[in-house]
C-alpha cells in the first residue's frame, strides 16, 4: 500500500502517549457504537507502480482520435507547451483560495490579469475570477438580471442543449419562469422575441455563434431588450471574439461563455471554466470571487479579493450566490494561453478555424453533404447526410476520425486550426471509401 | 510587481501556429470586431519569468505548513498529476461515442462505487464542480423528493449556527428558507432547539459532523432521528470527512445525501481556488432524482443513462473529470487500511497540536477534537490588544500559512487549525514553537504584531480602498 503519512506506526504511538492516549481508536470514543464502521469494504492499497499501471490501462481503453471534426461546445485546439509548464508549478497547483493576500500575490495578480483579458475579449467592464463552466456562467447570469418586478426570462431555441438543461435546473429552483423564443432556419426569430417580451421579462439569453454555428443578430436583439427595460446576455465563443464584434460593441449587458478553448484540453468534459463579464452598473450583482487592485501601507501595488459583501462567507443566506471555489487554475491557464498567443496569434486561430471550416463545407458539398442552413457562420455548420449518421460515425472511428455530431438526423461539423487542408482531404477520402 | 500588460512590447511574441492553408476568406465587414484587442505581446522567456516571479509570491502546500481549518490542505501526490495528464484522459471529447470512452466511464463507475462504500451511500453523481455546487445539488435532490411526494409545504432547511457560510447560501439558491439553530455548551446541536425548530415545513437539515469546531457530535443518531420523524431529510456536508473516513460513514449516522470535496479529503490539489470536485451521494430512494449522465454497467460495457425523474443538470457533461481521475488514483493507492490510517493520523495531529498549545492559548472547547480545533483569542486581545488577525499575520513571517480566521462565527477571535495527516511531528513541533513565540511577542511588543507581516512581498493591503474604489482590471492608455 502507498502512504503519504511521514511517521512510522511506532512514532505515532509516541505521539499518542504524549497526549495521554493508548491507541488511535481512543480518539473516537465519542462516536456512538451503532454508527461505527466495522470494516471498510474496499480493496487494499497498492504501490505507486501498480496504481499507475492500472490507471494507464484505463486511459488506454479510450480512443484518442487522430483528427476531430466535432465541437458542439468543446473544441480541440493547439496548446503551447509553455501553458502547461507554467500552470503545473507547484505553488499555483497546491495553493488554496488566496485569502491571505500577503503570501498569495501570485494567484491574485494572475486572476487580476485574467479579468483584464476577459474584459478585453468581450469589450465589457467587469469580470469575475471565473465560475465552474460556461453553462453555470449562463445560469448565474440569468439570476443577475432578475429584480423584484421582473422574474421571467427568455432563452432562444438555438442555444447549446447542455447549457439549456443547466439554465432550466437553476431557474426551476428559484421559481424563475423560463420561456423559449422560437427559431427560423436555426436562427433566433426576432419577431417571436418581440412577441414574447412583457413587463415581467428580466432578460434574454442568446449565443453567437449559436449551437448550429450561425452568427446571430445580437445588436438588433439588444435594442429590443433595452427598449423594454430588460437585459441581454450573450453566450460567446472566446476565440471567435478575436475576429467578430464584441458583446460590448453590440450593446450586450452580460457576456458569458465556456473558457475551455483557452488552453484547456477537452478532458472528457472538465475541468473547464466559465467566464462572466458585465457592464459596470451590474458589478455588484456579479457572483463569485473578484480580485481588485489596491496598495499596502507602504504604497506598493497589491491585489486582494474584493467586493466580498456579495459573498456567502460574509452574507450567508443573503449572498448573491453560494459560489466559493471557482476554477482559479483554469483561469490562470486561460490567461497564460491568451498571453502566449497574443492578439495576432489569437486572431490567427480564429481565422484559421473560419477558413478551415469553410473549406470543409466546400469539400463536403462535393461528395453530397450539403449545408442546410443559410447565413454567416464561424467554424461549425450543419449538413445533410447521404448515409445514416451513426453508420458514418462508426466507419470513420475505424479510421481514427471523429465525425461531426449527429443533430436531428443532420451532421454538425466543426473545424479548428487543427483541421487544416491535409486533415480535411483525409476526411473526404475516408468518407468516399465509406460511401 | 509589473503586470503582464506592462511587459508587453508591440510586435513581440511567438508564432505557435502556421497561417491557414485553406484560403484567405474573411467574414463580411459588418460582422468584424472594430475595437483593438489588448493582449500581451511578450516573448516566451519573459512570459515564463513573469510567472516564475508570481510563483515565488504564492504559498502552496509544498512551500510549508498550511493548517487552514476546514480546507484539508494535505499533500497532493505527484503521481496523480501524471496519471491525469495521460493522453487517454485529456484528449477525449465529452461527446465521443460511448464505445470509444469505456475507460473514462469505468473511472466514473469505479470511483462512484468506492465513494459509496466510504460514505454509506448507494449512488453518486460527479457533476458538481465544487463543495458549494454539491450542496446546491444535494438540496435540489431534497426539494425534488418532497415535490414528487406532493409535500410542497416543506420549504425550510435547518442549519446550525456553526455551519459553513455556503450552507445557508446554497439553501436559498435551491429555493428554501433557512432556520438557524444555536449550538449547545459543548459545541454540538442543541437538541431542544432542534425539536422546537422542526415541523410540517421542515424539508431537511444540513450538518457537518465533525462540525466546524472540529467536534464530533455524540448525539448524531438522535439528531437525524428527530429530522426523519418530522418528515425531513438529512444532508451531510462532507467538508470534514477527512476526520472520519474509514471509521464512521454518513450513511450509518442517518444521512440521506452527502457531498464530498475531492479537493480536500481525496488529495486533489486546490489550484489556488479550483478546479475542485463536489460529488453528491445519496441513498437508494433518491437515486431516481440524480442529475443526468449517470454511468451504468450493462452486459460487459458501460452506458450513460438519465435517472427516471432526474432533477436535470447543474453543470455540463460529467463534472470535473480529471479531478475524479486523481481522486481514484489516491483511493486505489491508500486502500482500506490507508484510508483509515489517514483519518486517524489527521485526528492525532490535531489533538497533538492542540495539546501542545493549550497551556498558553485558550482552546474554545477543551475536549478531544477531530481533525481540527479552534482557539479563542478573546482573552489575549483584552490583555494585549493583539487580535487573532495579528497572530495570523505574524505567522506569515515564519513561512506558515495562517489558520482559518474568525470562523466559526460563534467563537470570538477564532483561529481554526487543521494540520492534516501528511504533516510530520517535527513540522507541528516547529509550528507550536512559532505560535508560542508569537504569544510572547503579543505581550512584549504588540505594536510589532499589529504591523505584521514584515517580511512578505507586501504588507497588509488596504481592503477598504479596494472595495470603495474598485479597480478590477488594468486600464490601457488608449
Residues A228-274: tens digit of each pLDDT: 999 999 999 999 999 999 999 999 999 999 999 999 999 999 999 99
Give contacts of B315 with chain A, Cβ < 8 Å.
132-133, 135-136, 166, 270
CA angle at residue B350 from B61 to B369, to 5 degrees?
140
Across A317-337, average pLDDT: 87
CA distance A65 to chain B (A): 8
CA distance A344 to chain B (A): 9
pLDDT value of position A314: 67
User: Does A354 contact B27 at a Cβ distance shorter than 8 Å?
Assistant: yes
CB B118 to CB A42 under 8 A?
yes
Is B463 in Cβ contact with A94 (below 8 Å)? no
A405 contacts B95? CB cut-off 8 A:
yes
B-chain residue closest to A398, CA distance: B100
Residues from chain A that touch B175, judged by Cβ atoms under 8 A, are: 173-175
Q: Residues of B with CB below 8 A from A273's CB?
A: 275
Task: Determine, for residues A296 and B461 on separate chains, whether the beta-carbon distance falls below 8 Å.
Answer: yes
Mean pLDDT for A192-208 is 98
Q: How many CB pairs lie under 8 A apart between chains A and B?
A: 664
Q: Which residue of A has its CA nearest to B90?
A: A267
Instruction: Measure the CA angle with vertex A142, ends A136 and A146; round to 5°.
Output: 145
Confidence at residue B80, expressed as pLDDT on a 0 to 100 scale:
98
Q: Are B94 and A268 in contact (CB under 8 A)?
A: yes
Collect all residues of chain A within an 8 Å Cβ-Cβ radius of residue B313.
135, 162, 165-166, 169
Burial A270-290 (b: 16+ CB within 10 A, else e): bbbbbbbbbbeebbebbbbbb
CB-nearest partner of B62 from A74, A90, A342: A90
Interchain contact, A268 vs B311, CB within 8 Å: no
Sign of CA dihedral A183, A185, A188, A190: negative
Domain residue limits, chain B: 79-334, 336-460
In this structure, the strands spanning B202-207 and B233-238 are parallel
Residues from chain A that touch B474, judged by Cβ atoms under 8 A, are 112-113, 116
pLDDT at A174: 87
Tell me which chain B residues have a C-beta less than 8 angstroms from the C-beta of A89: 51-52, 55
How confident is the model at residue B478, as a pLDDT? 60
pTM above 0.90, yes or no: yes
Would you give per-residue pLDDT tens digits along chain B (478 residues)?
899 999 999 999 999 999 999 999 999 999 999 999 999 999 999 999 999 999 999 999 999 999 999 999 999 999 999 999 999 999 999 999 999 999 999 999 999 999 999 999 999 999 999 999 999 999 999 999 999 999 989 999 999 988 888 899 999 999 999 999 999 998 999 999 999 999 999 999 999 999 999 999 999 999 999 999 999 999 999 999 999 999 999 999 999 999 999 999 999 999 999 999 999 999 999 999 999 999 999 999 999 999 999 999 999 999 999 999 999 999 999 999 999 999 999 999 999 999 999 999 999 999 999 999 999 999 999 999 999 999 999 999 999 999 999 988 889 999 999 999 999 999 999 999 999 999 999 999 999 999 999 999 999 999 999 999 999 999 997 6
Closest by CA position to A164, among listed A184, A139, A130: A139
Q: Where in chain A is the domain with CATH 3.40.640.10?
A: 81-336
Chain A positions touching B339 (Cβ under 8 A) are 40, 42
Average pLDDT over residues A341-370: 98
Position A207 pLDDT exceeds 90: yes
**ipTM score of complex:** 0.97
Please report residues of B whose CB lies closer than 8 A to that of A164.
none
Residues in A 168-197 with any Cβ partner in B closer than 8 A: 168-170, 172-175
CATH 2.60.40.10 fits B336-460, yes or no: no
Query: Cell 445588436 belongs to which residue?
Result: A219
Confidence bin at A317 (pLDDT 50/70/90):
confident
Rounded alpha-carbon distances, angstroms, from residue B97 to A163, B92, B254: 20, 10, 39
Return residues 231-260 of A near B (CB < 8 Å).
Answer: 241-246, 248-249, 258
Whether A327 sits inside 8 A of B129 (CB atoms) is yes
Class of domain A81-336: alpha beta
A348 touches B at CB < 8 Å:
yes
- Output Rg (C-alpha) for chain B, integer angstroms: 25
Contact: A243, B246; criterion CB under 8 Å: no
pLDDT of residue B439: 97
Check CB contact under 8 Å for A322 and B271: no
Distance from CA of A307 to the nearest CA of B (A): 5
In angstroms, the separation between the Cα of residue B28 and the nearest Cα of chain A is 8
Would you say B1 and B57 are in contact if contact means Cβ atoms under 8 Å apart?
yes
Q: Select from B338, B411, B355, B337 the least CA-distant residue to B379.
A: B411
Contact A169, B139 (CB under 8 A): no
Gap between the Cα atoms of B348 and B336, Å rounded: 19
Cα Dmax for chain A: 83
CB B106 within 8 A of CB A61: yes
Collect all residues of chain A within an 8 Å Cβ-Cβ radius of residue B370.
27
Fold of B79-334: 3.40.640
Distances from the Cα of A204 to the Cα of A141, A150, A179, A257, angstroms: 10, 12, 9, 15
Inter-chain CB proximity A7 and B345 less than 8 Å = yes
Shortest Cα distance, chain B CAs vs residue A187, angstroms: 16
What's the topology of domain A67-78+343-434? 3.90.1150
d(CA A228, CA A230): 5
Amino acid at each position: 500500500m502507498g502512504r503519504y503519512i511521514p511517521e512510522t506506526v511506532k512514532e505515532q504511538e509516541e505521539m499518542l502517549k504524549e497526549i495521554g492516549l493508548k491507541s488511535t481508536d481512543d480518539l473516537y470514543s465519542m462516536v456512538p457504537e451503532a454508527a461505527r464502521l466495522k470494516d471498510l469494504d474496499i480493496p487494499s492499497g497498492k504501490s505507486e507502480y501498480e496504481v499507475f499501471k492500472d490507471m494507464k490501462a484505463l486511459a488506454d481503453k479510450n480512443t484518442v482520435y487522430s483528427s476531430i471534426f466535432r465541437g458542439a461546445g468543446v473544441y480541440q485546439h493547439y496548446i503551447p507547451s509553455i501553458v502547461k509548464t507554467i500552470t503545473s508549478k507547484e505553488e499555483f497547483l497546491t495553493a488554496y483560495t488566496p485569502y491571505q493576500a500577503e503570501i498569495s500575490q501570485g494567484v491574485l495578480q494572475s486572476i487580476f490579469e485574467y479579468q483584464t483579458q476577459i474584459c478585453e475579449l468581450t469589450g465589457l467592464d467587469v469580470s469575475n475570477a471565473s465560475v465552474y463552466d460556461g453553462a453555470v456562467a449562463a445560469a448565474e447570469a440569468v439570476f443577475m438580471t432578475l429584480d423584484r418586478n421582473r422574474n421571467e426570462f427568455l432563452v432562444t431555441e438555438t442555444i447549446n442543449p447542455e447549457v439549456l438543461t443547466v439554465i432550466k435546473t437553476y431557474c426551476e429552483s428559484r421559481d424563475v419562469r423560463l420561456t423559449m423564443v422560437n427559431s427560423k432556419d436555426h436562427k433566433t426569430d426576432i419577431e417571436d422575441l418581440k412577441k414574447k417580451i412583457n413587463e415581467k421579462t428580466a432578460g434574454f439569453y442568446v449565443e453567437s455563434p449559436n449551437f448550429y454555428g450561425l452568427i446571430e443578430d445580437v445588436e438588433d436583439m439588444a435594442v429590443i431588450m433595452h427598449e423594454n427595460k430588460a437585459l441581454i446576455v450573450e453566450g460567446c465563443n472566446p476565440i471567435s471574439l478575436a475576429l467578430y464584434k464584441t458583446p460590448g460593441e453590440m450593446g450586450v449587458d452580460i457576456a458569458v461563455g465556456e473558457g475551455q478553448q483557452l488552453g484547456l484540453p477537452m478532458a472528457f468534459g472538465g475541468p473547464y471554466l466559465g467566464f462572466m463579464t458585465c457592464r459596470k452598473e451590474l458589478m455588484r450583482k456579479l457572483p463569485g470571487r473578484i480580485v481588485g487592485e489596491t496598495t499596502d501601507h507602504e504604497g506598493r501595488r497589491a491585489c486582494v479579493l474584493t467586493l466580498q459583501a456579495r459573498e456567502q462567507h460574509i452574507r450567508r443566506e443573503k449572498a448573491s450566490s453560494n459560489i466559493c471555489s471557482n476554477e482559479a487554475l483554469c483561469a490562470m491557464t486561460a490567461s497564460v494561453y491568451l498571453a502566449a498567443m497574443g492578439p495576432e496569434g489569437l486572431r490567427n486561430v480564429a481565422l484559421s478555424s473560419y477558413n478551415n471550416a469553410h473549406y470543409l463545407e466546400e469539400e463536403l458539398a462535393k461528395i453530397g453533404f450539403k449545408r442546410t442552413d443559410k447565413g454567416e457562420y464561424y467554424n461549425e455548420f450543419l449538413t445533410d447526410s447521404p448515409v445514416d449518421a451513426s453508420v458514418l460515425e462508426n466507419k470513420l472511428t475505424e479510421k481514427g476520425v471523429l465525425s461531426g455530431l449527429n443533430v436531428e438526423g443532420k451532421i454538425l461539423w466543426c473545424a479548428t486550426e487543427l483541421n487544416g487542408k491535409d486533415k480535411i482531404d483525409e476526411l473526404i477520402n475516408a468518407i468516399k471509401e465509406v460511401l | 510587481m509589473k503586470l503582464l500588460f506592462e511587459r508587453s512590447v508591440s510586435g513581440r511574441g511567438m508564432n505557435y501556429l502556421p497561417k491557414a492553408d485553406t484560403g484567405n476568406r474573411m467574414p463580411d465587414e459588418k460582422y468584424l470586431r472594430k475595437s483593438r484587442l489588448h493582449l500581451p505581446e511578450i516573448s516566451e522567456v519573459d512570459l515564463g519569468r513573469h510567472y516564475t516571479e508570481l510563483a515565488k509570491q504564492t504559498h502552496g502546500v509544498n512551500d510549508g505548513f498550511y493548517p487552514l481549518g476546514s480546507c484539508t490542505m494535505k499533500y497532493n501526490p505527484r503521481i496523480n498529476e501524471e496519471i491525469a495528464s495521460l493522453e487517454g484522459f485529456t484528449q477525449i471529447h465529452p461527446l465521443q461515442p460511448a464505445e470509444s470512452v469505456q475507460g473514462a466511464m469505468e473511472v466514473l463507475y469505479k470511483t462512484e462505487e468506492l465513494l459509496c462504500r466510504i460514505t454509506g451511500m448507494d449512488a453518486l453523481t460527479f457533476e458538481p464542480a465544487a463543495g458549494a455546487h454539491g450542496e446546491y445539488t444535494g438540496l435540489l435532490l431534497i426539494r425534488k423528493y418532497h415535490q414528487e411526494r406532493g409535500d410542497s409545504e416543506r420549504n425550510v432547511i435547518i442549519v446550525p449556527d456553526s455551519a459553513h457560510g455556503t450552507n445557508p447560501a446554497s439553501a436559498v439558491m435551491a429555493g428554501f428558507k433557512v432556520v438557524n439553530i444555536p449550538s449547545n455548551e459543548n459545541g454540538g446541536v442543541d437538541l431542544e432547539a432542534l425539536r422546537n425548530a422542526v415541523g410540517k415545513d421542515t424539508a431537511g437539515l444540513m450538518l457537518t459532523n465533525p462540525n466546524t469546531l472540529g467536534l464530533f457530535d455524540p448525539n448524531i443518531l438522535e439528531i437525524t432521528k428527530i429530522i426523519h420523524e418530522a418528515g425531513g431529510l438529512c444532508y451531510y456536508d462532507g467538508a470534514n470527512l477527512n476526520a472520519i473516513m474509514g471509521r464512521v460513514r454518513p450513511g450509518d449516522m442517518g444521512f440521506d445525501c452527502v457531498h464530498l470535496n475531492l479537493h480536500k479529503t481525496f488529495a486533489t490539489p486546490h489550484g489556488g481556488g479550483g478546479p475542485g470536485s463536489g460529488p453528491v451521494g445519496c441513498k437508494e430512494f433518491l437515486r431516481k432524482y440524480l442529475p443526468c449522465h449517470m454511468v451504468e454497467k450493462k452486459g460487459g460495457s458501460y452506458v450513460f443513462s438519465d435517472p427516471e425523474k432526474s432533477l436535470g443538470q447543474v453543470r455540463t457533461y460529467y463534472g470535473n473529470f480529471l479531478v475524479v481521475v486523481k481522486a481514484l488514483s489516491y483511493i486505489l493507492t491508500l486502500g482500506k487500511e490507508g484510508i483509515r490510517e489517514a483519518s486517524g493520523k489527521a485526528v492525532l495531529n490535531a489533538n497533538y497540536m492542540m495539546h501542545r498549545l493549550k497551556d498558553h492559548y485558550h482552546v474554545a472547547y477543551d475536549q478531544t477534537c477531530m481533525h481540527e480545533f479552534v482557539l479563542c483569542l478573546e482573552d489575549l486581545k483584552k490583555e494585549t490588544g493583539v487580535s487573532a488577525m495579528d497572530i495570523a499575520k505574524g505567522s506569515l513571517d515564519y513561512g506558515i500559512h495562517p489558520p482559518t480566521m474568525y470562523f466559526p462565527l460563534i467563537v470570538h477571535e477564532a483561529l481554526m487549525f487543521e494540520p492534516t495527516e501528511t504533516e510530520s511531528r517535527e513540522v507541528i513541533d516547529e509550528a507550536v514553537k512559532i505560535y508560542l513565540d508569537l504569544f510572547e511577542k503579543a505581550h512584549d511588543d504588540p505594536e510589532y504584531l499589529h504591523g505584521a507581516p514584515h517580511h512578505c512581498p507586501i504588507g497588509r493591503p488596504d481592503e477598504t480602498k479596494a472595495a470603495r474604489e474598485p479597480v478590477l482590471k488594468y486600464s490601457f492608455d488608449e
